[in-house]
């Protein structure tokens, strides 16, 4: 955990220094969408690890976002090696909303510092269901509930590219939601996932804000 803390501190220090350097040379003509309106559909694919009360698991994460504001996501977790992680595997599907980007951009509240704006606007609220496979057993037939938050740190000064994503929250199994006694840590657990993700913006023509913007 100490090494992980140093990594997080290093990333945020680097982002702050990059923001200061970018701010020193920013002018009023900077495009504060940073490519987020070059298309209306964002695709995000990530891989990393998720940490819970009984050991880490590898995770794959795929997200689709409309106007970088709302979308759906799905993830798969697997204790690839025998780490004693319980549950052994987890499948998750849910919705997310990022309330800050359009709310800030439409009223001119973006700071004009690309990495800092992208980081702040990445704040997301997530709600999902999940199916888990305990060690030595099959996948559960009834879903549990997941509520979580997300924040992402961009490597580049634009939306498309590599990011480091942090998603953390709580999970409740079907049994705990029904008020049954908590039989295992996985029935009511906190988690944190860390993934290296690639974002790409596509023009799916669901909406074209650039076409209607005044010239």
CATH assignment at residue 65: 2.40.160.20
Instruction: Give me the percent of the chain exceeding a pLDDT of 70.
Output: 80
Question: In the prediction, which pLDDT does 215 show?
Answer: 43
Residue 67 lies inside a defined structural domain of this protein: yes
Residue 120 lies inside a defined structural domain of this protein: yes
Residue 68 lies inside a defined structural domain of this protein: yes
Range of the structural domain that residue 90 is part of: 2-204
Residue 209 lies inside a defined structural domain of this protein: no
Residue 215 lies inside a defined structural domain of this protein: no
- What does the DSSP assignment read for 35-83? TTTS-SEEEEEEEEEEE-TT--EEEEEEEEEETTTEEEEEEEEE--S--
Q: What is the pLDDT of residues 146-175, one digit of tens each?
A: 999 999 999 999 999 999 999 999 999 888
Q: Which of 32-46, 73-87, 183-197 has the lowest mean pLDDT?
A: 73-87
| Whole-prediction pTM | 0.80
Question: In the prediction, which pLDDT does 137 show?
Answer: 79
Q: Total structural domains in the chain?
A: 1
Q: What is the pLDDT of residues 96-110, one digit of tens each?
A: 999 999 999 999 999
Residue 166 lies inside a defined structural domain of this protein: yes
Using alpha carbons, list the distances in angstroms from residue 116 to 23, 41, 121, 135, 178: 10, 22, 9, 42, 42
Element (H, E) at 170: strand 161-172
């Amino acid at each position: 955990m100490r090494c992980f803390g140093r990594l997080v501190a290093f990333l945020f220090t680097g982002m702050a220094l990059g923001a200061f350097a970018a701010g020193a040379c920013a002018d009023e003509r900077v495009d504060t969408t940073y490519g987020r309106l070059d298309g209306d559909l964002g695709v995000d694919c990530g891989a990393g690890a998720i940490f819970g009360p009984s050991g880490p698991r590898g995770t794959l994460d795929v997200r689709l976002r409309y106007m970088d504001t709302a979308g759906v996501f799905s993830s798969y977790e697997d204790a690839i090696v025998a780490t004693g992680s319980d549950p052994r595997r987890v499948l998750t599907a849910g919705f997310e909303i990022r309330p800050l980007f359009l709310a800030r951009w439409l009223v001119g509240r973006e700071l004009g510092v690309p990495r800092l704006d992208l980081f702040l606007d990445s704040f997301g609220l997530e709600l999902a269901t999940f199916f888990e496979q305990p060690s030595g057993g099959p996948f559960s037939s009834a879903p549990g509930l997941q509520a979580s938050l997300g924040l992402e740190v961009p490597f580049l000064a634009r939306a498309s590219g590599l990011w480091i994503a942090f998603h953390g929250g709580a999970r409740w199994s079907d049994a705990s939601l029904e008020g049954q006694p908590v039989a295992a840590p996985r029935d009511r657990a906190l988690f944190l996932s860390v993934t290296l993700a690639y974002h790409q913006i596509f023009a799916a023509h669901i909406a074209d804000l650039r076409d209607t913007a005044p010239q």
